Structure 1
Amino acid sequence: MVICMDDDLVKIDDIDRKIIDLLNEDGRMSYRNISRILDVSVGTVHNRVEKLVKKGVIKKFVPIIDHSKLGYKLTAIIGVKVKGGVLRNWETRTAYHKNVLAVYDVTGEFDAILIGKFRDTGELDSFIKGLLSEGDVQRTYTQTVLNIVKEDMTSTKMIGD
């Protein structure tokens, strides 16, 4: 199996993939518990996880937040057209806005796509108007999400293809 990370190919085996799957299910799972499930030593699990972190396959361990439980029930996908030559600076600034979960450089009609979570349409409206008031932003296109069919940033299903 091969995972492509930052132009470096990292080879992993079935044990590595299973460790990643278990950590995706519960990032706080102990190495001892993983070793029992996989029938390998605790040292093996420790060494494998350290290798996966060092190689950049595992970037960090973070909780997965249910934003709706915190009042952010509206998800928006926002296409943004930015003036030439300032895209990187604009993206860096915008990425730190509290409502922005993801920023993607894209091809096509827009320069960037933002994924954001908002409490309501008023908060979304204020965010969009704020974007449009920035001198670097030429226009936006906003879609609101009606239903989330799948939202899983931890999927390992492609590992092993």
Structure 2
Amino acid sequence: MMDDIDRKILDLLQQDTTLSTAEIASRVGLSTTPCWRRIQLLEQEGYITARVALVDRNMVNVPLDVFVAIRTNEHSWEWLDEFARLVGEFPEVVELYRMSGEIDYLMRVVVPDMAAYDKFYKELIKRVKLTDVSSSFAMERIKYTTALPLDYVGDSSKGKRRGK
């Protein structure tokens, strides 16, 4: 069971994964070795799934977010499997969700400009049978974070506590 120290460790790592174990330990009130053990356990238990670098989208020339709403008349497992595989081949697709409601799938695509999106769109509809594709272009990114809220993790007063 995760406790408040684990939550603080995760929060720090979500903000900056380059922090040293000694720095994290200092900030959460532990010595280095117990902090290192907690981080290792958080990884083993699946709380930490990867450590990555966030790249500045403007520096790599993909400033445009396009939200693509997809409808299809195909609802078989085989079609979904093939669709997911094909979409996975497009590096421009950074997120893909199966939705409830009016839209079957929603994806976020990042591209340099409208011409690049048009090229992506034409390749997508050539490779995948879709009923309807509707694209919305983000005019401004108001909030963006990769950090998840940690307030909803189980009650820290219950369950076993990790050793200090």
Q: Does TM, scored on the shorter chain, surpass 0.5?
A: yes
Three-state SS of the structure 1 residue aligned to 2:59 is helix
* Residue 96 (1) aligns with residue 89 (2): yes
Aligned with residue 105 of structure 1, among 98, 101, 105: 98
% same residue: 22
1:28 equivalent to 2:18? Answer: yes
Alignment partners' CA distance in 2, 1:130 and 1:15 = 48
2:121 maps to what in 1?
A: 128
Which structure's CA Rg is the greater one?
Answer: 2
Shift of 1:127: 1.1
Determine the C-alpha separation between the residues in 1 that align with 2:136 and 2:63: 14
Number of equivalenced pairs: 151
Worse-superposed segment, 147-156 or 58-67: 147-156
Judge conservation of contact 2:14–2:146 (CA < 8 Å) in 1. no
Please state how far the C-alpha of 1:143 moved relative to its aligned partner: 0.4
Q: d(CA) in 2 for partners of 1:68 and 1:50?
A: 34
**C-alpha distance in 1 between matches for 2:147 and 2:42:** 15
TM-score (ref. length: structure 2): 0.84
| SS class of match (1:75) | strand
CA contact (8 A) 1:95 1:103 kept: no
Q: What is the alpha-carbon distance in structure 2 between the residues aligned to residue 104 and residue 77 of structure 1?
A: 11
Structure 2, unmatched stretches of 5+, are 155-164
Give the structure, 1 or 2, with the largest relative contact order (CA under 8 Å, sep 6 or more). 2
Query: Partner residue of 2:30?
Result: 40
Deviates more, 1:147-156 or 1:99-108: 147-156
TM-score between the two structures when normalised by the length of structure 1: 0.86
Superposition RMSD in Å? 1.6
2:115 matches 1:115:
no
More strand by proportion, 1 or 2? 1
After TM superposition, where is structure 1 displaced by more than 6 Å over at least 4 residues in a row?
Answer: none
